[in-house]
Amino acid sequence: MALAEHLKEGMHMRGATTESTSRYLSMALASRRLMKHLDSFALTGTVDEPIKIALQDLLAIMDPGWQTGNSFAPVPGESPFGRYEQAQVVNEVAEPFGARNVRGKLARIADGTIELGDRQAAVRDINEFLYELENRALHKYSEASSQREW
């Protein structure tokens, strides 16, 4: 009986680890996809609705009020950035880039107020942030995957 309980517990833990690791992989993929769409935005100046939503999700996560008020709540919707662990990573990565600066550029892109002359530079800066975010998420994914017991 003790062996069965131990195996059941191990399966539960492995399932939780798999879910957590898949969130990091989703975050990395979402970062890459957002970079691709922002490159298109830099050329055309148009942002489609799913990209606006992704940008708004990132803005919500980077809002200091959200962090203190909802530390363990996901962002409304199905954002790959919205779980507590992922939100922590987003904010850690944003710090060296100047979180306020990143938020400002994301907001101007999302609401369409960014000027034509600033568009290329803003996209380049946001893509650098997203590239670092993708790398950090992949590192977390790899780290969590290697810690799994088989």
Q: What would the pLDDT profile of 97-120 be if each residue is shown by its tens digit?
A: 998 999 999 999 999 899 888 999
Which pLDDT does position 126 carry in this prediction? 95
Asked whether the predicted pLDDT for residue 133 surpasses 90, the reply is yes
Q: For 39-54, what is the mean pLDDT? A: 89
The sign of the CA dihedral 24, 62, 75, 112 is negative
Number of domains in the chain: 1
Q: How far apart are CA 90 and CA 132, in angstroms?
A: 10
Longest distance between any two alpha carbons in the chain, whole Å: 69
pLDDT band at 76 (very low <50, low <70, confident <90, very high): very low
Asked whether the predicted pLDDT for residue 61 surpasses 90, the reply is no
Q: Which residue segment(s) compose the domain that 34 sits in?
A: 2-146
